[in-house]
Structure formats: C-alpha cells, structure tokens
Amino acid sequence: MFKEFLSALVYEMLKFSAKHPKAKQSDMTELRIPAVFKEYLGEASEAVLAKDVKLIIMFLNDASAVGGIDYKRNKFFKAFIKFLTEKLASSLDKLPATFYKAEHAEQIKIVEKLIASDSVVAKALKNLIITNSYQELASEINELCKNIAEAPYVLVQSPREIDSELKSEIRENLNKDFESSFPVFQINKNLIGGLRVFVDGTSHDYSWFSRISSISNL
C-alpha cells in the first residue's frame, strides 16, 4: 500500500542527500517532504541513510517481513510510524463523512484542498488517500504500528460521525496514552448515544446502550 509513497520519499531524500551530504534540518527548506522525515534526515549520517534505504527496499519488496528487530529500532521506520499516526491520521480525520461515497473528481478536489503541496511525495500521499478506503488504510497502518512499535489497537465507536475537531482531540489524547497507536473511528448506531473505546480488546463503555443494559441487569 505504501510503496508509491515510500518510493517517492526515498527518492526525494536520496536526491537531496546526494546534493547536500551534511545538510542539517534547518538547511532543508527546498526539500519537500514531511517535517518528521526532515528531522530524521538531519540526524542520519550517510552510512545510516544507506542502511535504512536498504531496509526500506526490503520492506517494499516484502511488507510481511516487518516485525524483525531491524525495523523496530530503526529511526526511519519510527519516523514513518509517527507520520502515519499523526500527520496522515490528522488528514484522514479532516475528510468529510461523504468523501468515500463521492465521485472520483470530487474526491480529488477535496484531497487537493487538504494537501496543498504538489511535490512528488504529496502526490503519492494524495493518491494513497483516494485509492484506499478508510478501513483499508486503518488496517494497514495498525498492522505496521503493531509490528514496528508494538502499539495497541485502539477503536473508538460512536453512534454518529464525530466532527473533525473532536476527532483530532480524541486522537491526540489517545496518542499520548498509547504511543504510536492509530485510533480507528467507527460508527455504531446501536450505541444510541455516548462513546465506546476499545484498547486491545479492553472496553471502556460510556454508551447509552450499556447504561440501559445495566438497568436491566439490576
């Protein structure tokens, strides 16, 4: 799923690194990649970058190989996870509820508004959002987070669509409690009201349905 994005990212990083071998983060104004990767590039030496590129290629060839020790301690993949769980997650939260039902052209318009940049990496990112459903993205990201950062699976169920502001707040708070996790938002009308949060199978139920059920269990 992330082949195009990672390929574009690696291409940009290698291109920049070749031109500016000892550049610091402050010198990377012309490099058009997300900030978290700039931070990584500013700290990584040429040798480390070369090693990491090798790992990225291995990952791109066989994503099921993720979970080995190399990936878990690897700064690039940590940065990648951070990007997915913060920046990409935030962008996904801002998408309207009707996005996935909209026409392709409409989707392109919405994503163009959301991600203003037209860099190679930005284009790959836009394509990633348009060509995959929320469930597909969430599933893939959660798999990566679990294998690389051992993050728990967090699911937030609500009876209605949560507005993007509240979604961001919820995501930010849950990320503080469960580092590197990618909370998935799901609509469950049976809750009737309130909220339910699952963390690796443990449920924190604040829904109206559970309160009504508890009355019947008195």
Partner 1 sequence: MEALEKLGINPMSILLYLINLGSVLLVLTYLLYKPVLGFLDKRRKQISDSIQEAEILRDKFDSTLKTAEKEKKEIEIKFREEMDKLKKFVDERKSELTKEMELARSEMLAKAQSEIDEKKASIMKDAEAATMILIKKVILEIVKNKVPENVIQESIKDAWQQYKK
Q: How many other C-beta atoms can be found within 10 angstroms of the C-beta atom of residue 204?
A: 10
Report DSSP state, residue 133.
Answer: -
Shortest distance in whole angstroms from residue 58 CB to partner 1: 40
CB atoms near residue 167 (< 10 Å): 20
By beta-carbon proximity to partner 1, the closer residue of 134 and 209 is: 209
Binding status of residue 158 toward partner 1 by CB under 8 A: yes
Q: Note the helical H segments in the chain.
A: 3-19, 35-43, 46-61, 69-73, 75-82, 89-94, 104-114, 120-131, 134-149, 164-177, 208-216
Out of 106, 150, 169, 200, point to the residue binding partner 1 (CB under 8 A). 169
Query: According to CB under 8 A, which one of 14, 35, 57, 166 is a site residue for partner 1?
Result: 166
Contact stretch for partner 1 (CB under 8 A) within 35-43, 98-106, 124-132, 191-199: 191-199
Name the DSSP letter for residue 32: -
- Tell me the closest approach of the beta carbon of residue 180 to partner 1, in angstroms: 20
- Site for partner 1, rule CB under 8 A: 158-160, 162-163, 166, 169-170, 173, 192-195, 197, 204, 206-209, 212-213, 215-218
